[in-house]
Amino acid sequence: MSFAFCFDREEDIYQFAYCYPYTYTRFQHYLDSLQKRNMDYFFREQLGQSVQQRQLDLLTITSPDNLREGAEQKVVFITGRVHPGETPSSFVCQGIIDFLVSQHPIARVLREYLVFKIAPMLNPDGVYLGNYRCSLMGFDLNRHWLDPSPWAHPTLHGVKQLIVQMYNDPKTSLEFYIDIHAHSTMMNGFMYGNIFEDEERFQRQAIFPKLLCQNAEDFSYSSTSFNRDAVKAGTGRRFLGGLLDHTSYCYTLEVSFYSYIVSGTTAAVPYTEEAYMKLGRNVARTFLDYYRLNSMVEKVAIPMPRLRATEERSSGGEPPSCLRTWPEPEALGTLMTTGCEPS
């Protein structure tokens, strides 16, 4: 394929992209905006640095009660953008984060019950440099989980150390690991899982993608597959699937660069930035179904977001409280990025 393009406006900036761009700078601005909201259930820390000294950000989203010393934790660990050219990964990840920090009743229940650890950009050098698949030094980081080097693969090394540390903590149950990617030939969203000799464990592994298929019209369970291909041995899903015990489930979540087909139709619907983020919101929502927490949502009152203990409220009065007046996750796009509440 070839094309001709006329740069006819000198004052404009032109970009040619394989998919919607999601830059390292945009990512940092996004995290900065979340941090400024001073939510007491959102924590941002620097887990490490890349070869070129860019931040490896780790987010923790949970109720502060779950982080007190000695508290038992059920952890969901999510990573994204290990392949820097797969920008849909960042939009899906932002959808997950936006939903989890919102005041939606489902999000509030999930924060009470689970601890979400999210490393949204595992390959910040590759993202900054515009690489499609590799790091600054030319490595496909998603083939080096078995033995990551602290100098050649420092971001991977830092995340793996943290996961192993959590796995060895008797107070921590690492329930899920989900690595988010984009696929260049398949349609829809779908998952890769592992194959186990234990048939019951293998069957249990299929539950989450089946539930996600019910919540997200663009997710395809028929395209979801479980394998132990040798070429995938160094991936996060395969390595952690072998390391963690039978109570943990490891997946690669893939989403098409292009389009999805809704079940029962034949027309391909092009993905948009908002559609990718909607898939992320539905991924987060599915944890409610998986843990059977639906009955708890009915009991949730909705106060104004709490500030950290060190911050003073700028306005007086009692926070309003209501029940079940919130829109469904797919309607929360602008609401969650601004931190506003519906009228």
pLDDT of residue 86: 98
**pLDDT tens track for 48-58:** 999 999 999 99
* Residue 176 in domain: yes
pLDDT of residue 306: 59
* Residue 329 in domain: no
Q: Closest Cα to residue 303, out of 311, 313, 291, 288? A: 313
- The amino acid at residue 237 is R
* Angstrom distance (rounded) from CA 125 to CA 74: 31
**pLDDT tens track for 179-220:** 999 999 999 999 999 888 778 888 899 999 999 999 999 999
Annotated catalytic residue: which of 254, 273, 318, 330? 254
* Residue 174 in domain: yes
H helix or E strand, kind and range, residue 281: helix 273-290
Domain of 285, in residue numbers: 24-298
pLDDT of residue 323: 31
DSSP per-residue string spanning 222-237: TT-EEE--GGGTTSHH
pLDDT below 50 — which residues of the chain?
Answer: 310-327, 330-343
Total domains present in the chain:
1
* Residue 237 in domain: yes
pLDDT of residue 124: 98
* Residue 260 in domain: yes
* Residue 198 in domain: yes
Residue 254 annotated among the catalytic residues of the structure:
yes
Maximum Cα–Cα distance across the chain: 63
pLDDT of residue 114: 98
Q: What are phi and psi of 83, to 5 degrees?
A: -100, 110
* Angstrom distance (rounded) from CA 46 to CA 155: 11
Question: What is residue 18's DSSP assignment?
Answer: S
CATH number for the domain spanning 254: value is: 3.40.630.10
* Residue 106 in domain: yes
Helix residue ranges, H only, the chain: 24-35, 88-100, 105-113, 124-129, 154-167, 199-205, 207-215, 236-243, 273-290, 294-297, 333-338
User: What is the model's pTM?
Assistant: 0.85
* Angstrom distance (rounded) from CA 100 to CA 281: 8
DSSP per-residue string spanning 96-112: HHHHHTS--HHHHHHHH
Angle at 321 between CA 315 and CA 327, to 5 degrees: 110
pLDDT of residue 34: 98
pLDDT of residue 334: 38
Task: Kindly state the tokens that stand for 341.
Answer: 């509440």
Q: Is 307 exposed, middle or buried (0-12, 13-18, 19+ CB in 10 A)?
A: middle
* Residue 309 in domain: no
